[in-house]
Structure 1
Amino acid sequence: MLVAGTPYWACWSWFLSFYVSGELDARKGNLSICFISPPMESQNHHSQPPTIGTTFLRTCFNGVNTLSGLGILSVPYALSKGGWISILLLFLVAIVCFYTGLLLKRCMNSDPLIKTYPDIGQMAFGRKGRTVISTFLYLELFLVSVAFLIMGGDNLHKLFPKETFDIFGMEVGGRKLFISVTALVVLPTTWLRSLGALAYVSASGVLALLILLLAVLWGGAFDGIGFHESGEIWNWKGLPTAISLFSFCYCGHSVFPTLCNSMRDKSKFPKVLLVCFIFSTISYGSMAIFGYLMFGEHIAPEVTLNLPTKKISSKIAIYTTLLFPVAKYALIVAPIVISVEETLPFQESKMMSYLIRTCLVISTVVVALSVPFFGYVMSFVGAFSGITLSIVFPCLCYWKIALKFKKFGVEKTVILMILLIGTIIAVVGTYTASTDIINEVQHKRI
């Protein structure tokens, strides 16, 4: 069984990893998902048929896709907010998140029945722990689906800035129009009750990431943009935003337990994490540095919005990003949809299923239209749910499960420091992002 609640772009990786491990029936397209899964003690391991498990290489592939997504568009903007020295924070966040990923693995070692992140929460803090963690995961999925719509609308508006339509005598155009267009395009994909095909489409994540990175580099090196901007060395005021956006890049912890359990040799999972974090950090760091060198203080929250649309490399980069919502939106909202459907008495009704999925898409459109600020939404997600799920909760769970009876030593000191600093950053980052969103909304109304 797959418990709902996986980070934004990474949701599809669950489906893919379960497909290769035999728990997703490709012929029937059956997928069992539950937001609040049954208690661990009710799960009978011995009644389940043994599975071969995924190889080290396949797990690395799924892990890289878990950590690679929308964050690649915003890291140059994050670097511009904090200044050149803040690139060190990207590496520091990567190290801390790698360590907390290992903490989750150690929590799993305490009980063979632990299969998912919410299971870890239940093991540490009972049913309330499961509920709190699941709620944060749920909210994160919803907000990232909103970010996908905003990103699609921004990039379509970049390609067609003058497009307007006459609807009932009103001239409609701009980003809000294209946010709605993006939602209309992805809506049919959410009606699919079989997600096997979508998982394969989403498996192009690593390729899309590389194409996007190479297209941006090509634009800087050969299409006349150049790498001439100097930028700031350090900007204290922008640090909360920078750290929040960097944290967004490494929010893969909710899928780590599932990836680990899908492995043929679970003892190699720490090596998988190391490979995934190194690859992702190189990708993020490269995009951040080159993007900041190309556009400096004028960098947009999405680096593709700075690219000249007349260049072939720019069009390739922008069209690549437009594939993200089509390929991943349905997989991101699927756990939300299915968990809602499972709570209703008429869950077998196809018409009701279509209605629920349509209402969910409409709700994300309403939020995207109300807060069409990609950078601030990403910053909010990174601070509020990203740091909480990737840094704070792993430390709390590990402390409760493995350290509560140990004497106060080096390990406890390190985890306590990470916990305190992570909590402070989450609070400050959430406040900063919320303030920025409110100010922008008020400014738009004026």
Structure 2
Amino acid sequence: METTEAPLPLLDANQRSKSGGGGGGATSAQTLGNIVVSLLGTGALGLPYAFRVSGWLSGSLGLAAAAAVVYYCMLLLIRCRNKLEEGRDKDGAAVQIQTYGDLGAEAFGVPGRCLTEVLVVISYAGTTVSYLFFMGENLSSVFSSYGISPSAFVFALLLPLEAALSFIRSFSVLAPFSILADACNVLAMAIVLAVDVQQLRKPSRKAKRSAFNGAWSLPFAGGVAVFCFEAFGLTLSLEASMAERRKFPWVLLQAFLGTAAAYICFGVFGYLAYGEDTNDIITLNLPSNWLACIVKVGLCIALAFTFPMIIHPVNEIIENKLDSSEWFQKLCQNLPGRNWLGLQAVRLLIVVAVAFLATSVPGFAILISFTGSTVCALLAFVLPATFHLKLLGSSSTPLQRVLDYSILATGLVFAGYSIYSAVSGHSMGFMT
């Protein structure tokens, strides 16, 4: 999911490069760490259920395929930027590509920028909705003896907290929490895997598990897999941050190989441990003990402090549009803080809207699958292939063009089928 100018939590401001040139000051190790940080998210917690839907073998192969295509498409974005920054604009100035929207503008003008930024907003808003949904469900399960609903936790606890955090505009303040959040995510996944292994040792858990549940189940699992690989949103920022940008493809490959292997293990063991009892959020399968409570609360704390980072692209795009509009300027001219107060009010409204959506979605797995197979598929597959064909098609080999068209067609079919399934209600059948 594409973040436009979102700062990277492990990089200082003087390490980031706004465009091209010789790159930033980040080493390969720092960049590798940032890629892994951007890949780890709530999507992994829905993988065991996705493997229940599709079967453990087809789910594993689908996730590996999604990782390979996302990796290739991230490289397409880099090639497009490198080609554009070799030239000059109509005024003779060097072309600078800082965001995904800039690529859209270079490829298709204003409509290209608008489409790209709309998809960015929807995809990141979908991620923040999944965060609130996940936190509400898990907090409700931890305090189940009190009978507090997930919606109550979202509105009474999470909404005020995230509204307050959204007012923080300095990411240096949030950076330590981001690092803590990723440490909590890794630790929690390790604990869940350990519990899964213990479950597999029980005789009652050795029943046959499906390896393949039919072709119609693959789009659902594929959507979850695409949602898991969120790093395509940080492609341009990650590559520009490196001191030796030519090493980026190799560093990116290392991150994808390691993360894909970890995701496959997490999904397979989670499904094999619980079989048809696998919940759409795997943490809800954990036994009711102090260890499970620590995992759930730890993940909620991690997501609570990651939320401002994820909502940042949404805030930034909307604020940039409002800040340059005459009607918003007139609306804010009588306010005490003028534009600043107006923009803060907009941030509050965005968080409120996300909270209402989080209490309305039918389920965690459905949410991340639909988001992954529609807007994420468009951003990760369709747009990179389209931009590459538009900007470098004439200089590409026939094989490259065939590959681009294949990715483009697959992404469109994937998104189209997912929208059809959602409208017709077919995807709801997976929740049974």
Match of 1:6 in 2: 3
RMSD, matched Cα = 2.8
Identity %: 26
Gaps of 5+ in 2: 86-95
The equivalent of 1:324 in structure 2 is 302
Q: Select the structure that is richer in helix.
A: 2
CA distance in 2, matches of 1:44, 1:266: 11
**Is structure 2 residue 127 aligned with structure 1 residue 144?**
yes
One-letter identity of the residue aligned with 1:333: I
Paired with 2:44 and 2:19, the residues of 1 have a C-alpha distance of 41
Q: Report the AA paired with residue 311 of structure 2.
A: V
Cα distance change on mapping 1:44 and 1:97 into 2, 3 Å: closer
Q: Which residue of 2 aligns with 1:257?
A: 236
Q: Secondary structure at the match of 1:252?
A: helix
C-alpha separation between the residues in 1 aligned to 2:349 and 2:279?
Answer: 31
Q: Which amino acid in the other structure matches residue 279 of structure 1?
A: G
Cα separation, 2, equivalents of 1:359 and 1:64 = 31
Moved more, 151-160 or 122-131: 122-131
SS of equivalent residue, structure 1 residue 264: coil
Contact kept in structure 1, 2:223 and 2:370, CA below 8 Å: yes
Task: Count residues with an aligned counterpart.
Answer: 403
Shift of 1:53: 1.7
Residue number in structure 1 paired with 2:55: 83
**Aligned equivalents of 1:244 and 1:45: distance in 2?**
32
Residue equivalent to 2:391: 401
CA distance in 2, matches of 1:92, 1:198: 34
Task: Note if 1:297 corresponds to 2:276.
Answer: yes
Is residue 175 of structure 1 aligned with residue 150 of structure 2?
yes
**1:203 aligns to what SS in structure 2?**
helix
Which residue pairs with 1:192 in the alignment? 168
Q: What per-residue deviation string (whole Å, max 9, x for no partner) do you get for residues 323-359 of structure 1?
A: 2331111122223224434424347555434422221
- Cross-structure match for 1:16: 9
1:390 to 373, 380, 389: 380
Structure 1 gaps, min length 5: 25-42, 165-172
Residue 29 (structure 2) pairs with residue 57 (structure 1): yes
Correspondent of 1:366 among 351, 356, 359: 356
Q: TM-score, normalised by structure 1?
A: 0.83
Change beyond 3 A, Cα 1:404–1:287:
same
Distance 2:248 2:338 in 1: 38
Matched, 1:230 2:227: no
Cα pair distance change 1:238/1:352, threshold 3 Å: same
Cα 1:96–1:233 change in 2 (3 A) is: same
Residue 263 of structure 2: which of 268, 277, 284 is its match?
284
Provide closer, same or farther for how the CA distance between residues 225 and 176 of structure 1 changes in structure 2, counting only shifts above 3 A. farther
Deviation sequence 1:365-407 (CA, Å, 0-9, x none): 1111222521111111101111111111111111111113556
Matched residue, 1:32: none
Letter of the 1:284 counterpart:
Y
- Counterpart CA distance in 2 for 1:45 and 1:22 is 13
- How far apart, in 2, do the equivalents of 1:406 and 1:339 lie? 32
**Which secondary structure does the structure 1 equivalent of 2:211 belong to?**
coil
CA shift at 1:45, angstroms? 8.5
Residue of structure 1 equivalent to 2:365: 375
Q: Please say if 1:335 is aligned against 2:313.
A: yes
C-alpha deviation, 1:410, in angstroms: 1.7
Residues 81 and 178 from structure 1, CA distance in 2 versus in 1: closer, same or farther, beyond 3 angstroms?
Answer: same
